Amino acid sequence: MTAVQHIPAQPTEFSFGPGTTALVVIDMQRDFLLPGGFGESLGNDVAQLRKVIEPLAHLMAAARAAGLPVIHTREGHLPDLSDCPPAKLLRGSPSQRIGDPGKYGRLLVRGEYGHGIIDELTPLPGEVVIDKPGKGAFYATELAQVLAQKSIASLLVTGVTTEVCVHTTVREANDRGYECLVVSDCVGSYFAEFQRVGLEMIAAQGGIFGWVTDSPAVIDALAAAPPITRAPAHTPV
Ligand code: TIU
């Protein structure tokens, strides 16, 4: 059992046990960050998300150095789109739809180059990558089991986009009893206003969905944390 650490945050200090905390990196995929991907097909200026990359790379390094699990997610669908509801496939009037051929392969389809995580934030060997068909990382995935297996109670939440997949995941996590700290400079939106209001919504009403702080505050707390000691994995006899 490791000591409880504290991070200055909104609306109050965030307390967490480093041994029961994971860093979750949501959908830092080429499809959302590069021109010619799914995000741009929806009419978005994907350059808006690039500012997340550098602080998130530093935070991931700090989390790894402190021994926290880093869990990545990717939004996307099976090649036959059988896991994509018609409502998601047909909604709106995008320039291209999910499954159409794009600059980096079929848009938002698993296994395509565009579906992959950007080079700057490539998962390390052994890190968990959750493939999710929805906006929330818990819906139709093994995330809950992974977190239970690792005895995780608190999540440091990062990735894109703030008001869509980050919010949905934080809301899902909140209802499942996880304490969520959203790292403000490590989440990004195509819309400056949604970024601001999306973060405010999480910490409002006494922290209705969780807490918000920035990456330097998290990195300071992780650097000050004593080494994590984990129980050895159970080996069946
Ligand atoms: N469109 C948008 O803002 N986001 C998504 O479609 N998915 C995620 O947020 N990952």
Distance 38 CA to ligand 1 centre (A): 9
Band of residue 100 on the pLDDT scale cut at 50, 70, 90: very high
Alpha carbon nearest to ligand 1 atom 10, residue: 165
Nearest-angstrom CA–CA distance, 69 and 230: 12
Q: What is the pLDDT of residues 42-56, one digit of tens each?
A: 999 999 999 999 999
Nearest-angstrom CA–CA distance, 158 and 146: 18
**27 Cβ below 6 A of ligand 1:** yes
pLDDT at 34: 98
**Which of the listed residues 44, 161, 189 should we mutate to test ligand 1's pocket, taking the one with most ligand atoms within 8 A of CB?**
161
Q: What is the pLDDT of residues 198-223, one digit of tens each?
A: 999 999 999 999 999 999 999 999 99
Distance of CA 34 to the CA centre of its chain: 17
Distance 182 CA to ligand 1 centre (A): 16
Task: Give the total residue count for the chain.
Answer: 237
**164 Cβ below 6 A of ligand 1:** yes
Nearest-angstrom CA–CA distance, 166 and 64: 21
Q: What is the 3-state secondary structure (H, E, C) of 125-169?
A: CCCEEEEECCCCCCCCCCHHHHHHHCCCCEEEEEEECHHHHHHHH
What's the sign of the alpha-carbon dihedral 53, 114, 182, 17? negative
Nearest-angstrom CA–CA distance, 87 and 133: 13
**Tokens found for residue 15:** 């307390």
**195 Cβ below 6 A of ligand 1:** no
Res 232 pLDDT > 90? no
Catalytic residue, chosen from 27, 31, 131, 185, is 27
- Structural domains in the chain, sorted by start: 5-224 (3.40.50.850)
Mean predicted lDDT score pLDDT of the chain: 96
Res 26 pLDDT > 60? yes
**Catalytic residue at 27?**
yes
For 226, other C-beta atoms within 10 Å of its C-beta total 11
Q: What is the pLDDT of residues 42-97, one digit of tens each?
A: 999 999 999 999 999 999 999 999 999 999 999 999 999 999 999 999 998 899 99
Q: What is the pLDDT of residues 119-153, one digit of tens each?
A: 999 999 999 999 999 999 999 999 999 999 999 99
Distance 164 CA to ligand 1 centre (A): 5
Alpha carbon nearest to ligand 1 atom 1, residue: 39
**62 Cβ below 6 A of ligand 1:** no
Q: What share of the chain is helix, strand, coil (3-state, %, to 5)?
A: 40, 20, 40
pLDDT at 230: 73
